[in-house]
Structure 1
Amino acid sequence: MPLHRILVLHGAVGFGIAALFVLALIAVDPGGIGHLLVGPAGGALPIAMLWFFSGIVFGSAQFAAAVAFACRDGEEGRPGGLRLRPMPALVPVPVRQGLRRR
C-alpha cells in the first residue's frame, strides 16, 4: 500500500477516534468541561478546535502504529522490532599514563 494512502486512511481513523473522544468528554463531563463546551460561553469553535487537535494527535498515533507494525514485502514472521546483533569483542588497549605533579 502506498505511503500516502496509509497516511490518509489512518489519519481518517484518528479523526474518527477524536470525534468519539470529544463526544465522550461532553457526555461524561469530567471536571465540568462538557458544560463549558456546550454552555452559553462555549459554541462550535471550542468543540471544533478540540476535535481538530485531538484528531491530529490520534491520527499521528494511529499512523505511527501502522508504520511500526507493517511487514515489508516478502518478509514473514514478526514485523518490526529490535533485532539481535552480535556484540563486538572487547579488546584492552594499553594507555601510557604520565606522572602527575602536585
Structure 2
Amino acid sequence: MTIKRAVVIGAFSLALSGCGTAVTVLQDDAETAKDLRQRQTYCQSVPRAYSGLVYDFCILNSPPSYTAGGAQVGFIPLIFFDLVASGVLDTIILPYTIYRQSEDGSLWIR
C-alpha cells in the first residue's frame, strides 16, 4: 500500500467517523439530541430525511467551541467536506429515512 493511498483511506475513515449521516442514522436518538444540545445549536428538531445535512447545518449554526487552551474546535473546511459526504450518503439511504420519518417522526432536540 502506498503512502498516498493510506492517507486517503485514513482521511476518509476520519471523515466518516464524524459524518452527520452516521451520527443521526446509526447513533441513538437521545445521544444525537444530547450532542446537539451540548453544542448549543439553535435547531429544535432534525427531520429523518437528509438528517446528516441538517445535522451539519445545525453544527455550522452553533457558537464556536473552544478547548481549555483556547484553540477552536470544529475546523470549518472539514465540515464542508462532511456536507458533501452527508449529501451523498443521505441520498443513498433516502428510502430508509423516509420510512423512519413516517414511523418515528422528526428527532426533537429540545
TM-score, normalising length from structure 2? 0.30
TM-score, normalising length from structure 1? 0.31
Higher helix share: 2
Higher strand share: 2
Rg larger in structure:
1
Higher relative contact order (CA 8 A, sep 6+): 2
